Amino acid sequence: MSALFRESEERTLHAVPFMVPLLLALALALQIIIHSQQATPQARAEALEPAPSANVLRAASFGESIVAAQFSVLYLQAFDNQPGISIPFRALDYNLVMSWLQIALQFDPQSGYPLMMASQLYGQVNDEPRQRMMCEFVHARFLDAPDKRWRWLAHCAIMAKHRLRDQTLALRYATDITRYAGTASGWARQMRIFILEDMGELGSAKVLLGGLLATGEVTDPSELHFLTERLKALESAEKSSSTTKNRQ
């Protein structure tokens, strides 16, 4: 063990000519001064390059596909690190953003990072076409692995309902979650019922809620109570609307 810390045989500092440490200090000082005069690098939105092709990335990663995917999203993320979230996102070419997210997901399909970025980062820009583009991207990728990716589509469904004010789109997403994501949480699978209710489709909502309760899928007592009360509320709402129609 002492061999690890044995002192090496070196001459004293006095053996070094005076000019040598002076040159060393001067060169280091010049390097620091030159660096301090240069502007801090900024990631400009228009500088975002298209993502490399899968073949190129696969060869360049030397088999480390997960790390290649991780560095792809971190590189893309560097273009977000600017003050003011909406302005830089507006300047980004979302087709290029999608290409990076796509390649990251292709190389690491188990990761939720690209879909998180799509739904909760790039989907938050105050620009409807871009929001829709991200939602459709999340929806397309959801269909590849519904049980793993339902939460991102659920976020998009909520975004479609409350921010895009597109109930039809929200219903489409919520229906696909119910249809394909068998292991999704109860609240996500029940979203379509409440969206239908909000759309005034009381009859459809009542049928779906009744069916959900009848299958015994819901086991939590609090949730059962809540959904049963909702069903009663739907039934009374439907009765009052049909009574109004008869009176007319």
Q: Quote the CA–CA distance of 156 and 234 in Å, as a whole number.
A: 26
Which is closer to another protein, CB of 69 or CB of 202?
Answer: 69
Which is closer to another protein, CB of 109 or CB of 146?
Answer: 109
CB of 231 to another protein, least distance (A): 37
Where on the chain is the footprint of another protein (CB under 8 A)? 3-4, 55, 58-59, 62-67, 70, 74, 77, 110-113, 116
Q: Quote the CA–CA distance of 85 and 175 in Å, as a whole number.
A: 31
Which is closer to another protein, CB of 38 or CB of 110?
Answer: 110
CB of 12 to another protein, least distance (A): 23
Which of 141, 201, 211 lies closest to 176, judged by CA?
141
User: What H or E segment, with its residue span, contains residue 56?
Assistant: helix 54-60
CB of 61 to another protein, least distance (A): 8
Which is closer to another protein, CB of 76 or CB of 92?
Answer: 76
Q: Quote the CA–CA distance of 164 and 129 in Å, as a whole number.
A: 10
CB of 58 to another protein, least distance (A): 4
CA distances from 127 to 101, 123, 203 (A): 19, 9, 34
